[in-house]
């Protein structure tokens, strides 16, 4: 799930990519379009805007939506992220230990810490700027959250005023 800040970052990144490497930008956009074609019928939100739905049922459906699908930003040949510099917060914090929810639980990718002690994992904790992000979110207009594919093709953004 992408926040409006993630969407803005990806939109800006795609604009830079279109200017610097139009072929790669077109390839990423094509992968995002194909992802939407494949997974769109089950999308728990609006295909027109790309925004996720807010009902309890839609949020529950999102929990298992396209979990096994490759992100359209990933190069199928190398597995690398073609928009790495502009990647969403979820991608930025995946793997290292971070505080989740009320801050009591330390979540991390188990594959990064095979055999590590709790102390070793805690020493690698990555602090997150949740307060800063919350403040920034109040500064931008937002209709809701979306997913990477819709952000890459330009949906899920605020209409120009």
pLDDT band of residue 129 (cuts 50, 70, 90) is low
Residue 37 forms part of a structural domain: yes
- Give the CA distances from residue 38 to residues 14, 31, 52, 60, in Å, rounded to whole numbers and listed in that order: 22, 10, 17, 20
Residue 69 forms part of a structural domain: yes
Residue 60 forms part of a structural domain: yes
- The pTM of the full predicted model, rounded to 2 decimals, is 0.73
| Separation between Cα atoms, residue 94 and residue 108, nearest integer Å | 7
Residue 116 forms part of a structural domain: yes
Under 8 Å between Cβ of 83 and 15: no
Beta carbons within 10 angstroms of residue 118's beta carbon: 10
Number of domain units in the chain: 1
**What pLDDT score was predicted for residue 20?**
98
Q: What number of H helices and E strands is found in the chain?
A: 7, 2
- Give the CA distances from residue 24 to residues 19, 143, 147, in Å, rounded to whole numbers and listed in that order: 10, 29, 20
Residue 18 forms part of a structural domain: yes
**What pLDDT score was predicted for residue 131?**
67
Residue 158 forms part of a structural domain: no
Tokens representing 107? 């979540």
Residue 157 forms part of a structural domain: no
Q: Is the pLDDT of residue 34 over 90?
A: yes
Residue 159 forms part of a structural domain: no
**What pLDDT score was predicted for residue 102?**
67
- pLDDT, tens only, 58-102: 999 998 999 889 999 999 999 899 999 999 888 887 777 777 666
**What pLDDT score was predicted for residue 160?**
38
Q: 24-33, 54-63, 141-150: which range is least confident on average?
A: 141-150
Contacts of 43 (CB under 8 A, 6+ apart): 36, 65
Percent of the chain with pLDDT over 90: 43
Write out the residue range of the structural domain in which residue 114 sits.
4-152
Q: Is the pLDDT of residue 135 over 90?
A: no
């Amino acid at each position: 799930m992408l926040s409006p800040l993630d969407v803005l970052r990806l939109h800006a990144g795609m604009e830079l990519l279109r200017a610097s490497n139009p072929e790669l930008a077109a390839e990423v956009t094509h992968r995002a379009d194909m992802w939407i074609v494949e997974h769109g019928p089950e999308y728990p939100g609006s295909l027109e805007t790309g925004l996720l739905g807010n009902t309890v049922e839609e949020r529950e459906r999102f929990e298992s939506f396209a979990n096994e699908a490759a992100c359209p930003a990933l190069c199928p040949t190398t597995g690398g992220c073609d928009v790495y510099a502009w990647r969403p917060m979820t991608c930025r914090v995946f793997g290292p230990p971070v505080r989740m929810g009320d801050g009591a639980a330390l979540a991390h990718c188990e594959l990064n810490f095979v055999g590590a002690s709790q102390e070793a994992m805690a020493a690698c904790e990555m602090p997150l700027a949740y307060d800063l992000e919350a403040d920034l979110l109040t500064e931008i207009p937002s209709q809701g959250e979306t997913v990477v594919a819709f952000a890459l093709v330009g949906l899920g953004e605020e209409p120009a005023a």
